[in-house]
């Protein structure tokens, strides 16, 4: 029976946290939405699941929708037996001044009858650290990083308490690195200060050792919040044996679907273009004849599979920053929706045609693909990179159930060679 329940505000964020939990010895399932929790009635006392992470698409949803979906997920996790909870948001604290991180944290505390929790976006393995409340992305302050120009959640301030204050009715406090470095007892005492009794407490952390101290000091908290980094301090009962087995075999048809526009993914697409058969999505063609445009793309992939199973074809939306459509032509479907719909349709057609290994790049894109494939849950397996892992997944394509291996890659994660190297981890 699972005891740890997590709620993630996007799909790649859910597999990011699940990857970390598996590495720490939790057999982990990602549930697609609240309805995916225990969808098969499989979490009985003998079930081989230690942790469940619910994947939501709530990061940029209206506040009331995000709170509603998050509470539904929390209730489903409680009903499935979970007793401790982890609210996972982005390591770059992606949110607008209206939310949704503060409102969801507040709602969870109220629902659980708890008074305070910690706020820990730090994830040193991917270069995210928090010092004196300022969030860094590698060597840059958040506000000077590429996140400054994110289309949906432009991050123009690096001070986590100041980002959080407009999102919550609770006091926001900061506990600095000196206290964390003084150890778990000192941090526990600081968190027990009556002045912080009802607060959302941002805690500095610049290393995994700091995160382990925070995890130890909060082991009795019913709720913690943060990016995936904090899970480095949460040990599960199955160290070394928590990974789900792969569903596919080497040589099974494979494909990369990239809808992400982020800088890291553009470097991965450039590497993929040098080493893999590739096709860029033609937005004009898709707008003119969506079905025909998708058929062109899938025919390209299938023709390639007939010749060569070594190198998975790459279908991608953005090769360079100039590819991003700035203005939607009058009366046309916006590019973002069109790309998500097209890659999701390609995924369905390609699974029906035999694809058993799919690597998807981009959070929104991953949400669209997983939803179109009708997946209810993902059993997390071999890691690929910090925050990215393979997951065995039952999907439906044209009415037929198939089991595939799926990797959902956050736009910002992974090395330049991830599209060519990820497959070795599945073997």
Ligand X SMILES: Nc1ncnc2c1ncn2[C@@H]1O[C@H](COP(=O)(O)OP(=O)(O)O)[C@@H](O)[C@H]1O
Ligand Y SMILES: O=C(O)[C@@H](O)C(=O)COP(=O)(O)O
In the complex, the smallest distance separating the C-beta of residue 156 from ligand Y, rounded to whole angstroms, is 17
243-282 binders of ligand X (CB under 6 A):
259-262, 265
Contact indicator for 379, 10 with CB cutoff of 8 Å: no
Where do the DSSP E strands lie in 271-399? Answer: 278-280, 314-316, 357-361, 377-385, 388-397
Where do the DSSP E strands lie in 304-387? Answer: 314-316, 357-361, 377-385
Contact indicator for 198, 170 with CB cutoff of 8 Å: yes
Helix (H) or strand (E) holding 256: strand 254-258
Which of ligand X, ligand Y, none does residue 394 bind to, with CB < 5 to 8 Å depending on kind? none
For residue 12, state whether it binds ligand Y (rule: CB under 6 A). yes
293-322 binders of ligand X (CB under 6 A):
317-318
Quote the tokens at residue 270. Answer: 């450039």
Burial class, 169, CB count within 10 angstroms (exposed 0-12 / middle 13-18 / buried 19+): exposed
226-245 binders of ligand Y (CB under 6 A):
227-228
402-421 binders of ligand Y (CB under 6 A):
410-412
For residue 15, state whether it binds ligand X (rule: CB under 6 A). no
For residue 6, state whether it binds ligand Y (rule: CB under 6 A). no
- Identify which of 351, 323, 322, 355 has the alpha carbon closest to the alpha carbon of residue 339: 323
For residue 364, state whether it binds ligand X (rule: CB under 6 A). yes
Which of ligand X, ligand Y, none does residue 90 bind to, with CB < 5 to 8 Å depending on kind? ligand Y
- For 138-152, b/e burial (b = at least 16 CB within 10 A) is eeeebbebebbebee
Residue nearest to ligand X (CB): 411
Nearer to ligand Y, 301 or 336 (CB): 336
Quote the tokens at residue 110. Answer: 């109220």
Which of ligand Y, ligand X, none does residue 325 bind to, with CB < 5 to 8 Å depending on kind? ligand X
Which of ligand Y, ligand X, none does residue 99 bind to, with CB < 5 to 8 Å depending on kind? none
Which of ligand Y, ligand X, none does residue 70 bind to, with CB < 5 to 8 Å depending on kind? none
321-350 binders of ligand X (CB under 6 A):
323-325, 335-336, 339-340
Quote the tokens at residue 404. Answer: 């595939």
Cα 403 → chain centroid: 21
Nearer to ligand Y, 242 or 408 (CB): 408
CA distance to 132, 134, 135, 273, 303, per residue, from 296 (Å): 52, 47, 44, 18, 11
Which of ligand Y, ligand X, none does residue 414 bind to, with CB < 5 to 8 Å depending on kind? none
For residue 363, state whether it binds ligand Y (rule: CB under 6 A). yes
CA distance to 228, 260, 297, per residue, from 380 (Å): 15, 22, 29
For residue 391, state whether it binds ligand Y (rule: CB under 6 A). no
* Binder of ligand X out of 5, 133, 363, 414 (CB under 6 A): 363
Contacts with ligand X, residue ranges (CB under 6 A): 259-262, 265, 317-318, 323-325, 335-336, 339-340, 362-365, 410-411
Contacts with ligand Y, residue ranges (CB under 6 A): 10, 12-13, 16, 90-92, 227-228, 363, 387, 410-412
């Amino acid at each position: 029976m699972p005891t740890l329940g997590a709620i993630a505000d996007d799909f790649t964020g859910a597999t990011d946290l699940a990857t970390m939990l598996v590495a720490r010895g939790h057999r982990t399932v990602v549930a697609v939405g609240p309805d995916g929790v225990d969808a098969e009635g499989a979490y009985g006392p003998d079930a081989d699941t230690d942790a469940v992470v619910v994947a939501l698409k709530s990061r940029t949803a209206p506040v009331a929708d995000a709170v509603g979906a998050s509470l539904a997920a929390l209730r489903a996790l409680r009903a499935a037996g979970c007793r401790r909870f982890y609210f996972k948001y982005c390591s770059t604290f992606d949110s607008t001044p209206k939310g949704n991180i503060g409102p969801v944290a507040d709602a969870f505390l109220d629902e659980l009858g708890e008074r305070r929790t910690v706020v820990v976006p730090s994830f040193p393995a991917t270069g995210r650290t928090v010092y004196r409340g300022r969030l860094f992305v590698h060597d840059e302050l958040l506000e000077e990083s590429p996140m400054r120009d994110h289309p949906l959640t432009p991050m123009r301030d690096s001070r986590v308490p100041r980002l959080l204050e407009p999102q919550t009715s609770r006091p926001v406090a900061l506990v600095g690195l000196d206290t964390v470095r003084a150890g778990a007892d000192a941090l526990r005492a600081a968190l027990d200060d009556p002045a912080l009794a009802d607060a959302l407490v941002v805690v500095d952390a610049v290393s995994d050792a700091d995160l382990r101290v925070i995890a130890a000091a909060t082991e009795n908290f019913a709720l913690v919040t943060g990016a995936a980094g904090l899970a480095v301090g949460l040990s599960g009962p199955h160290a070394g044996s928590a990974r789900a087995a792969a569903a596919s075999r080497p040589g099974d048809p494979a494909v990369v679907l990239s809808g992400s526009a982020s800088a890291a993914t553009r470097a991965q697409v450039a590497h993929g273009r040098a080493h893999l058969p590739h096709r860029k999505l033609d937005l004009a063609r898709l707008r003119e004849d969506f079905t025909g445009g998708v058929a062109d793309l899938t025919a390209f992939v299938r023709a390639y599979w007939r010749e060569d199973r070594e190198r998975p074809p790459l279908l991608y939306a953005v090769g360079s920053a100039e590819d991003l459509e700035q203005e939607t032509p009058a009366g046309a479907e916006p590019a973002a929706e069109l790309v998500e719909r097209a890659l999701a349709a390609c995924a369905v057609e390609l699974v029906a045609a035999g694809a058993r290994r799919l690597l998807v790049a981009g959070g929104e894109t991953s949400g669209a693909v997983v939803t179109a494939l009708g997946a209810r849950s993902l059993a997390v397996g071999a890691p690929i990179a910090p925050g990215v892992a393979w997951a065995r997944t039952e999907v439906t394509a044209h009415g037929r159930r198939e089991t595939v291996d799926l990797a959902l890659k956050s736009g910002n994660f992974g090395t330049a060679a991830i599209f060519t190297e990820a497959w070795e981890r599945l073997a």
